[in-house]
Amino acid sequence: MLKNKTALITGAGSGIGEATAVLFARNGTNVVLADMDMAGAERVLAEVKKQGVDGVVVQADVSKPADNERMVAETMKRFGRLDVAVNNAGIGGPAAPTGEYPVEGWDKVIAINLSGVFYGMRYQVPAMLQSGGGAIVNMASILGKVGTPMSPAYVAAKHGVIGLTESSALAYAAKGIRVNAVGPGYITTPLLDKNLTKAQIEGLVSLHPIGRLGHAAEVAELVLWLASDKASFVTGAYYNVDGGYLAQ
């Protein structure tokens, strides 16, 4: 679907980013793996190369504009083009209601989950224009459409990602760049497993009509489709992959 193209994926060292990187590689795509976790990214790079494509790891903090500029520059230096960008890196942040939410926690969540997506696109778009067009997939969430009481920063950031996606899609629709957002439900990733107890995870399962949490590979399949020419008429869209969560 994306043979001989180049994709840049942030947060590629685990979870949805890892699953997406490996799936892209299986479809013939060269992959740039951006993450702060070098050990995780190097592990994923080994899996990518097993698929017979090329790949490179870039250590980067998406909350820093210069790191975003550098990861795109490294992509262009290594592969000479950028066809796909998946802005996936994100954190959950503290759990507290708005009136008790730590200000430093707000700043960090917004910096990574929202500003990081903007910084990424700020440098990805010029590279894609130089490459003749491309596709950007931004990782939002079901919480980009609805709220939850204990995560105001995360909810605000993910709502912002959807708005940013729509605005950017309109700006570049006639210039050969498609921009879409994906809204996963609760997915079994290291981020979730690390921050929640077994009882809390069971509570989350009960919120999904399908009766289970999602898997990273299921989200990756949607990302692959949106990035490919099979979705050539799709831009400015938000697709939830959530086991029925938002249908309630």
- Nearest in space to 148 (alpha carbons), one of 203, 111, 108: 203
**Can you tell me the distance from the alpha carbon of 164 to that of 172, in angstroms, rounded to the nearest whole number?**
12
Q: How far is CA 123 from the centre of its chain?
A: 16
Pairing of strands 6-10, 55-59: unpaired
- Which amino acid is it at 49? K
First vs last Cα of the chain: how many Å apart? Answer: 34
- Which amino acid is it at 15? G
Which ranges in 95-208 belong to alpha helices (H)? Answer: 103-110, 116-131, 152-172, 190-195, 198-205
Radius of gyration of the CA atoms of the chain, in A: 17
- Nearest in space to 194 (alpha carbons), one of 11, 67, 15, 1: 15
Q: Which of 101, 119, 123, 154 is catalytic?
A: 154
**Can you tell me the distance from the alpha carbon of 196 to that of 176, in angstroms, rounded to the nearest whole number?**
41
In terms of residues, how long is the chain? 248
Helix (H, G, I), strand (E, B) or coil at 241: strand
**Can you tell me the distance from the alpha carbon of 92 to that of 187, in angstroms, rounded to the nearest whole number?**
13
* Active-site residue flag, 154: yes
Q: Which residues are catalytic?
A: 154
